[in-house]
Amino acid sequence: MKHTLVAAAVLLAASAGSVSADSWRSMDKYKEIKFGVIPVETQTQTSQTMDGFAEYASKKLGVPVKIFTATEFIGINNALVADQITMAWTSPSAYSGSWMDCNGCVQPLVTATDKDGNLGYNSVLIVKAESPYQKYEDLQGKIVARTEPNSQSGYLVPTVDFNKMGKPVDKFFNSPVSGGHTQSVLGVLNGTYDGAFTWTTKGDGYGQLRTMIDRGLLKREQIRVIWESSLVPPPPIIVRSDIPADLKAELQKLFTELHKEDMSLAEAVAKGKTQGFVPADHSLYEPTVEMRKQLKNLRKQS
């Protein structure tokens, strides 16, 4: 799977091609580039983390790049669909939902590889290390938090996967919605939740756990992973499908060359260790679209 995806990324990069240099710059709507991101820390910390990237990107593109945050994925997705921002760092599930709702008006631009150059991550179920829970069956009837409905790892994947196992999350567990990954992990640490779903990559290279470890909010030995999903598509940076081709090409180049020029900025955007960003297209997220359809059917049945 890795070789296929990376090969596709190379072809996409090649097909970006050279385009008219100034066409998008002549358009009033692109006098500044607005980048929406979902906080995996606090909104203040996220803005501070991304300030360096905004400065770098502004110099590369020749127009101001500004960072916007929202408390939920759907907030930045809706802003993109409404043409209020230029691009958004979002979840695969939120992207797939917006793609379905607006008939393909959004599309992936790039996504980040993990520390080994692979694409994808895992939804994981974590518990406090000192707890007695060793497997997910031990949590039956306990409080196990999901994040929010547009999260792939914190909601979509566990909801669909556990239903396939004949153990619907909202029946097998007491499963409140925490509102976000940070809230879920902190809820496990402080005892609000017996377990919670979140996300990470191989070796905790990037993702929620890595971000909280790096910020001093979590020590890895404080938690234990007792269930993980199969590999799922990584979070994309998305744009509107009607974005000018030359702007899309420049934005892809901005991200795909970022790690070569400043790895620390690439890791700030990827939220952890990475070998860099690669171009992405909708085909990478077709499995997530199918999961969204399954979730929709489950809701109709309940």
Side-chain half-sphere CA neighbours of 253 within 13 A:
14
Give the DSSP H or E segment for 238. Answer: strand 236-240
Per residue in 205-216, pLDDT tens? 889 999 899 889
d(CA 248, CA 261): 20
pLDDT exceeds cutoff 70 at 168: yes
d(CA 46, CA 112): 18
Going by pLDDT thresholds of 50, 70 and 90, the confidence category of residue 132 is very high
Q: Are residues 202 and 65 in the same domain?
A: no
Going by pLDDT thresholds of 50, 70 and 90, the confidence category of residue 22 is low
Q: Are residues 276 and 142 in the same domain?
A: no
End-to-end CA distance of the chain: 35
Of all residues in the chain, the percent with pLDDT exceeding 90 is 78
What is the CATH classification number for the domain harbouring 186?
Answer: 3.40.190.10
d(CA 244, CA 76): 20
Domain boundary among 228, 248, 263: 228
Q: Are residues 269 and 288 in the same domain?
A: yes
Q: Are residues 199 and 171 in the same domain?
A: yes
Domain boundary among 208, 228, 248: 228
Residue 162 is predicted with a pLDDT of: 97
Q: Are residues 273 and 222 in the same domain?
A: no
32 vs 271, more confident: 32
Phi-psi map region of 141: left, alpha, beta (phi>0 left; psi -120 to 50 alpha): left
Q: Are residues 81 and 137 in the same domain?
A: no
Asked if residues 157 and 288 have their Cβ atoms less than 8 Å apart, the reply is no
Residue 13 is predicted with a pLDDT of: 42
Residue 275 is predicted with a pLDDT of: 95
Q: Are residues 76 and 203 in the same domain?
A: no
pLDDT exceeds cutoff 90 at 298: no
Domain boundary among 188, 209, 228: 228
Q: How many domains does the chain have?
A: 2
Token pair listed for 298: 């489950």
Q: Are residues 215 and 240 in the same domain?
A: no
Q: Which of 7-11, 42-46, 69-73 has the lowest mean pLDDT?
A: 7-11
Helix-helix angle 92-101:73-81, to 10 degrees: 40
Q: 177 lies in which domain range?
A: 122-228
Q: What is the mean pLDDT of residues 80-87?
A: 96
Q: Are residues 99 and 164 in the same domain?
A: no
Q: Are residues 87 and 140 in the same domain?
A: no
Of all residues in the chain, the percent with pLDDT exceeding 70 is 89
Per residue in 9-20, pLDDT tens? 444 444 443 344
The pTM of the full predicted model, rounded to 2 decimals, is 0.84
Q: Are residues 21 and 51 in the same domain?
A: yes
Looking up tokens 């196992």, which residue turns up?
165
Q: Are residues 263 and 163 in the same domain?
A: no
Residue 245 is predicted with a pLDDT of: 96
